[in-house]
Amino acid sequence: MTEQMTSQHAQSDSWHLGLFMHMPRMSRLEVLENTLIQVDALGSIVSLTRPDEPEYTERLHTARRSGALTEMSSQQMMIPGLVDLHVHAPQWPQLGKALHLPLQDWLNHYTFPLEARYQDIDFARQVYPSLVRALLANGTTTAMYFATVHEEATELLAATCLALGQRAYVGRVAMDDPQQCPDYYRDSDAQAAVAASERSIHAIRQLSGNQNQLVKPVITPRFIPSCTNDLLAGLGELAARHQCHVQTHCSESDWEHDYVLNRLGKTDTQALADFGLLNRHTVLAHSNFITDSDMGRIQEAGSGIAHCPLSNSYFADSVFPLRRALDKSLRVGLGTDIAGGHSASLFNTCQHAVASSRMLESGVDARLPAAERGQANARINFLEAFYLATAGGADVLDSPTGLFEPGRQFDALLLDLDCPENRLNEFTRANDWEDLLGCVVYNTQPCNIGRVWIDGRCVHG
Amino acid sequence: MTEQMTSQHAQSDSWHLGLFMHMPRMSRLEVLENTLIQVDALGSIVSLTRPDEPEYTERLHTARRSGALTEMSSQQMMIPGLVDLHVHAPQWPQLGKALHLPLQDWLNHYTFPLEARYQDIDFARQVYPSLVRALLANGTTTAMYFATVHEEATELLAATCLALGQRAYVGRVAMDDPQQCPDYYRDSDAQAAVAASERSIHAIRQLSGNQNQLVKPVITPRFIPSCTNDLLAGLGELAARHQCHVQTHCSESDWEHDYVLNRLGKTDTQALADFGLLNRHTVLAHSNFITDSDMGRIQEAGSGIAHCPLSNSYFADSVFPLRRALDKSLRVGLGTDIAGGHSASLFNTCQHAVASSRMLESGVDARLPAAERGQANARINFLEAFYLATAGGADVLDSPTGLFEPGRQFDALLLDLDCPENRLNEFTRANDWEDLLGCVVYNTQPCNIGRVWIDGRCVHG
């Protein structure tokens, strides 16, 4: 593999040659063999040339001459970078911890005290680079982050993503309701919270080196229960004024869904719409308990959903009706929900998305007759999960990534299929593309992720 | 770390010093800090000495002098080796493939044609060492295998385990019913099948180098639907005659459970008991649809259950009622069910065991009221899953492993917590043992498994 590429990045085009797989639509796997992809200095895909095209020989010659060609071996392939729509960045130090505790204990004894520590910027400096590096090593090229209430640490997270080259959406968390937030960790009041969120939007947009907006700010009410109505209304105005993304939790659990119904007399989705927080740039985490009418409203607004199957098994009392949402043309992507989910890997998330969709379809209680046990036609397969983790997630964010096609930014993973610690294709026949992608989705580990590019720039490996 | 150990293995004792964690009971995590374990030339734990014991200084001196001391760093720990109670060895080449197909297609287009290929011993020679090495790299020190109908390839699998040092239970698969088995892949009739299984028992017991019976034969009717009554009765007699282990699938899915009810007018469990196949040495895979009365029968017989949560989400139409089985004192361990499960890792199996138990408890369908959605008190936690993967699995097999205590064989994993590709303890405070074990159970990858010992012998790393 040519190693001059990164150094030449700023100056000229780079090239990638070999096997690419991606999914232009949920039902369509496209395999590009011996294909040559040209990426310009800004990371945009300029051309994609197959061997049977007349320009192939000439372009290949140019690529080789450039000294900026990444040539894959027969044991390598590339897929689009993975998009993680829901990460609680400050919870990284508690990955895999205390998940057996009831939610209230998990929050009050682990999560809130941990998040409060980011008041100390040195603690944030210790954690955030570790998190972003780990996500890159797991193939996550785009992440949508909840930070904490702290402006300085939130800006540090954004700056860390920028410095390490990760495409990111970073939100200062707004939470002001004394009924639901601990005294030691909340905004003092709605007005102060809105002002802090607005300053955070400016700070992230104006970060040094962020002229291409690789890192974007996100308006982030934690969830309705932790925000007063004044705060939610203020954040809605902020969203309209700044045209930036919005993220929050939506109808995640019985408790949360019922709490909002009791407090506001409507569902989370209706309430968010009424507060001006449901639009094309909104990402709703979980949404397990949304009604058919909520689905219609979300679809009309063009909002997206971050499906987090692993954390749902811990905290959501149910499985998100993914197939139903997809059938209604909702835009959906996947989230690890670190640290309500215990894995940093979107491949792992794909595995749980498939497994939980099948459990929703079959049901779980063997004592019930089969016909009464589950929801018919609820399953998704690994191809659909892979779509959600790549092009689907990119679509939710209106991000020009997730596919290999001219005009998109080159966010990609180079997979080493035959890595000695984990062989993905040892017994796969050449050209059995679905089988090979199955092995990738079901079993890729960080050791198989040889290199990672974002905006055409090699950021890992 | 001292490297002379393996070479000295046959001659003298070896020693291990550092942090050990194991679970003597399902509810009890024991942490042994700065502890010295002495292992004799046959792999048996001779002594376990804590720093506050009077013999500690003298024994540590002896250990250091011996040149056979494995001294852990502060970034390492040991846990007992993992016990995988259900592996279809011949299905290794299809790991992660075609799981989205209906079971009948998966069996007829993938599984049966693949298993039939082991008629060719050269194919078996290609696959089995790859499988056993991968399981060792994932920390599986004991595996219970279904092989194929072929005697030669079954013996080769057993010999491979022996050569690579894995504790194994290997069964020639018996399947003779022309109604349910393909013509190209089945025993010709019941008598021939019983004779072949009997020869396979002898062949495995008499393998060169197997004088300590590290590898044991298993009587293995595939499942009731693929066996005639004559075959099942014949295998029952064989079990009584040879006092060896029995494994089969039991009440796995709606189809299978109903098929047996229709054909025999009783459940799998009752039928197996009546055929002489339910005893202290029996391991029943899955058992999702067993009744309370079946549970009582299994408990009385002292049989064990191989719970395979991942493959259940694909093929079992339900979640195994694990908590209920444990409350009734059934002996249970875990199985990957390669390749109905897509992962070779028992850590992954632990993760799915916890997640699916929680989905059984909460239910899956958000449209139902919470009280009608799931089964109360069905969850297990990561500690319980870890118990099942170690001491629990060992108990099912009456294997003297799974714990660090004098008299048990030393089957152990050395974990590198701070491996650069995957840091397990970066943000864990010293002495937060449950948190640390949570990180291990939820996130260990092969890169964290530095060395593996079986019977005191280093077999990996």
What average pLDDT does range A64-72 have in this prediction? 96
- pLDDT value of position B23: 98
Q: Does the distance separating the beta carbons of B447 and A364 come in below 8 Å?
A: no
- Where does the pLDDT of residue B10 fall: very low under 50, low under 70, confident under 90, or very high at 90 and above? very low
- pLDDT value of position A195: 98
A443 touches chain B (CB under 8 A): yes
> From the CB of residue B29, how many other CB atoms can be counted at a distance below 10 Å?
16
A269 touches chain B (CB under 8 A): no
Q: Is the pLDDT of residue A2 over 60?
A: no
Three-state SS letters, B196-254: HHHHHHHHHHCCCCCCCCCEEEEEEECCHHHCCHHHHHHHHHHHHHHCCEEEEEECCCH
For chain A, report the end-to-end CA distance as a whole number of angstroms: 12
- pLDDT value of position A11: 62
- pLDDT value of position A61: 97
Of all residues in chain A, the one with the smallest CA distance to B342 is: A442
Q: What is the pLDDT of residues A436-450, one digit of tens each?
A: 999 999 999 999 999
> What number of C-beta contacts closer than 8 Å exist between A and B?
180
Quick one: what percent of chain B has pLDDT higher than 90? 95
What average pLDDT does range A410-437 have in this prediction? 93
- Where does the pLDDT of residue B11 fall: very low under 50, low under 70, confident under 90, or very high at 90 and above? low
> What does the alpha-carbon distance between residue B376 and residue A430 come to, in Å, rounded to a whole number?
48
Chain A residues touching B137 at Cβ < 8 A: 421
ipTM of predicted assembly, 2 dp: 0.95
Chain A residues touching B320 at Cβ < 8 A: 366
- pLDDT value of position A103: 87
Q: What is the pLDDT of residues A361-404, one digit of tens each?
A: 999 999 999 999 999 999 999 999 999 999 999 999 999 999 99
Q: What is the pLDDT of residues A5-14, one digit of tens each?
A: 444 444 689 9
Of B254, B319, B442, the CB nearest to A359: B319
Instruction: Take residue A346 and report the two structure tokens written for it.
Output: 């979107």
- pLDDT value of position B5: 41
- pLDDT value of position A1: 38
Chain A residues touching B93 at Cβ < 8 A: 426-427
Three-state SS letters, chain B: CCCCHHHHCCCCCEEEEEEEEEEEECCEEEEEEEEEEEECCCCEEEEEECCCCCCHHHHHHHHHHHCCEEECCCCEEEEECEEEEEEEHHHHHHCCCCCCCCHHHHHHHHHHHHHHHHHCHHHHHHHHHHHHHHHHHCCEEEEEEECCCCHHHHHHHHHHHHHHCCEEEEECEECCCCCCCCCCCCCCCHHHHHHHHHHHHHHHHCCCCCCCCCEEEEEEECCHHHCCHHHHHHHHHHHHHHCCEEEEEECCCHHHHHHHHHHHCCCHHHHHHHCCCCCCCEEEEECCCCCHHHHHHHHHHCCEEEECHHHHHHHCCCCCCHHHHHHCCCEEEECCCECCECCCCHHHHHHHHHHHHHHHHHCCCCCCCHHHHCCCCCCCCHHHHHHHHHHHHHHHCCCCCCCCCCCCECCEEEEECEECCEECCCCCCCCCHHHHHHHHHHHCCHHHEEEEEECCEEEEC
- pLDDT value of position B329: 97
Instruction: Take residue B149 and report the two structure tokens written for it.
Output: 């109908």
Q: Is the pLDDT of residue A148 over 60?
A: yes
Q: What is the pLDDT of residues B417-459, one digit of tens each?
A: 999 889 999 998 888 999 999 999 999 999 999 999 999 999 9
Of all residues in chain B, the one with the smallest CA distance to A369 is: B254
Q: How far is A380 from chain B (nearest CA, A)?
A: 8
Q: What is the pLDDT of residues A79-112, one digit of tens each?
A: 999 999 999 999 999 999 999 998 889 999 999 9
Quick one: what percent of chain A has pLDDT higher than 90? 95
> What does the alpha-carbon distance between residue A305 and residue A397 come to, in Å, rounded to a whole number?
10
Quick one: what percent of chain A has pLDDT higher than 70? 98
Q: Is the pLDDT of residue B90 over 60?
A: yes
Of all residues in chain B, the one with the smallest CA distance to A375 is: B365
Q: Is the pLDDT of residue B4 over 60?
A: no
B441 touches chain A (CB under 8 A): yes
* CA-CA-CA-CA torsion sign (A384, A385, A390, A396): positive
Cβ-contact A193, A228 below 8 angstroms: no
Q: Does the distance separating the beta carbons of A363 and B365 come in below 8 Å?
A: yes
Chain B from 270 to 289: CB within 8 A of any A CB: 288-289
Map out the domains of chain A with their CATH numbers. Answer: 5-80+404-460 (2.30.40.10), 82-396 (3.20.20.140)
In chain A, helix, strand, coil percent, each to 5?
40, 25, 35
Chain A residues touching B316 at Cβ < 8 A: 362
Q: What is the pLDDT of residues A173-215, one digit of tens each?
A: 999 999 999 999 999 999 999 999 999 999 999 999 999 999 9
Chain A from 221 to 260: CB within 8 A of any B CB: 254
Tell me the sheet residues that pair with A423.
Answer: A418
For chain B, report the end-to-end CA distance as a whole number of angstroms: 12
What average pLDDT does range A280-308 have in this prediction? 98
B314 touches chain A (CB under 8 A): yes
- pLDDT value of position B8: 39
Bridge-based pairing of strands B412-416 and B449-454 is: antiparallel
B382 touches chain A (CB under 8 A): yes
Query: Phi and psi at residue B395, in whole multiples of 5°?
Result: -65, -40
A324 touches chain B (CB under 8 A): no
Q: What is the pLDDT of residues B96-139, one digit of tens each?
A: 999 999 888 999 999 999 999 999 999 999 999 999 999 999 99
B185 touches chain A (CB under 8 A): no
